[in-house]
Amino acid sequence: MSLDHTRAPFYEALLAEKNFAPLSFHMPGHKFKAGLLPDLTTWLGADWAAVDVNECSPTVDYLHAPGPALRDAQALAADLAGSDATFFLVNGATVGNQAMLLATAHDGQKVIVSRASHRSIYAGLILSGARPVYVPASVHPATGLPLAVSTAAIAAALQANPEAVAVQITGINYYGYLPDVPALVALAHAHDVPLLVDEAHGAHLGLHPMLPRSAVQLGADLVVQSPHKTLGALTQAAWLHVVGDRVARPALAQALALLQSSSPSVLLTGSLDVVRRRMALDGRRLLGRVVALAARARDSIRAIQGLDCYGPELIDDAQGIAAHDPSKLVIDVRASGLTGTQLQARLREQSRLGVEFADPGHVVCSITAADDDETVDALLEALRRAVVGSREAQSGALEIGDLPPIPAMALTPRQALGAPTTVVRLEDAIGRVCGEQVMPYPPGIPLLLPGEVVGAEHVDYLRGQLAHGVRLVGPEDPGLQTLRVIIHVERGA
């Protein structure tokens, strides 16, 4: 870090404007008067209106044309991350992922993409018109979770598609596992294409020596992070880091201007400035505590009968898993007699405790700098209480089995969007072009996406999973008696 991180220039400008409190004849409509909506005061406190300023105030910089305070705030964020430039975002990592693809790939151009990507990547493919070359996501055999994309699979996709213009990967997933980012950077650059990394769950990476290094530090070209997920920024506040000049910054700025609100909330961007300063000044200590608390929690959870908690032992070249973020507690509940969702409900009802995520076999809890010994003790106590007597309950952990191959693509995601569709019985969908997303959960990897050809193997797999009570995300008919298909395909792959 080479800049003065004791400053928080954008936050300071916002605070000054709040205190200046001019008589307003401009947006927002509340005119900084909390009395207009007393319910919001009850909910948010007396200052809710005073802090909600915008660029109508001359001292408040505008996200789409930043003045010095916001420029400096973004430069400080870049300095902390080690990037060459950083854009603040007001629609989460979602908009960063969309902009990344919009700025790097154009109509019909190929992009190498992991099949286990967040839906914002799919949205980016629709927006850009790119033709995805999906790389199968491996499902980890012992956990049943998609934990990383293998380097060999990306290498094979690049080899087979030398005209691809970018490689897009999830740099750290919900479960805290990372693919071999250095190898993927080298691979993409050897093909002279940018590596685009969705690191939504990794804004804290690289800020402590015991945490995996961030994709920025490892030389990826574009890296999207959600500081609202792991660092405490307000919900939706995110940033996009740029390294080098493989991707043109003006193209990114244009994409972001196109996709983001013309009234970006300073509550979000201001919180990014504040979080950056806190992490720059005290991050090492705070994240050191996170690492220690998570280690203690992991050991103690492993000692609770019926529960396990994954850790670095799952790092495995053969699975493409190269690193582990200790702050994620992925609790395996399969031996407890409870499903993850049942455990989640018990934690909430018995102990007023909320978790990040639950599936039939797992519960995921995250430890952040807001935690301390007391919160970790409360989590451990609640877990012990929740599993008492649980052996009588029935475990609903699911057998995922081998996923069928990724279907052939008849239409790109953009071509499929808005194509005329009809509903047919599932068995009659074989050979037709799918008109909706079908994603069994777990493992949370799309089995069919709009524009893809439905095969008999996909129908068989889905029938088998439904018989085991798997939840399907996406289809209009959740029981999948019927499937929406595209009526007529004019453009072939």
Ligand X SMILES: Cc1ncc(COP(=O)(O)O)c(C=O)c1O
Site residues for ligand X per CB under 6 A = 92-94, 97, 118, 120, 170, 174, 198, 200, 226, 238
Closest approach of Cβ 172 to ligand X, in Å? 8
- 215 vs 483, which CB is nearer to ligand X? 215
Closest approach of Cβ 366 to ligand X, in Å? 12
Closest approach of Cβ 217 to ligand X, in Å? 19
- 228 vs 246, which CB is nearer to ligand X? 228
Closest approach of Cβ 45 to ligand X, in Å? 25
- 200 vs 218, which CB is nearer to ligand X? 200
Classify each residue of 1-31 as buried b or exposed e, where b means 16 or more C-beta atoms within 10 Å of its C-beta: eeeebebbbbbebbeebbeeeeebeeeeebe
Q: DSSP H helical segments within 233-265, as ranges? A: 249-259
- 178 vs 486, which CB is nearer to ligand X? 178
Residue 354 in tokens: 């909320």
Closest approach of Cβ 123 to ligand X, in Å? 10
The bridge status of strand 138-139 relative to strand 195-199 is: unpaired
Q: How many residues does the chain have?
A: 493
The amino acid at residue 457 is E
Distance CA 440, CA 473 (A): 6
Closest approach of Cβ 120 to ligand X, in Å? 5
- 174 vs 461, which CB is nearer to ligand X? 174
Distance CA 149, CA 178 (A): 9
- 174 vs 177, which CB is nearer to ligand X? 174
Closest approach of Cβ 97 to ligand X, in Å? 6
Q: How many C-beta atoms lie closer than 10 Å to residue 456's C-beta?
A: 11
| Angle formed at CA 329 by CA 232 and CA 218, multiple of 5 degrees | 65
The residues with which 425 forms a beta bridge, in sequence order, are: 482
Distance CA 362, CA 342 (A): 10
- 145 vs 238, which CB is nearer to ligand X? 238
Asked if 205 and 231 count as a contact pair (C-beta separation under 8 A), the reply is no
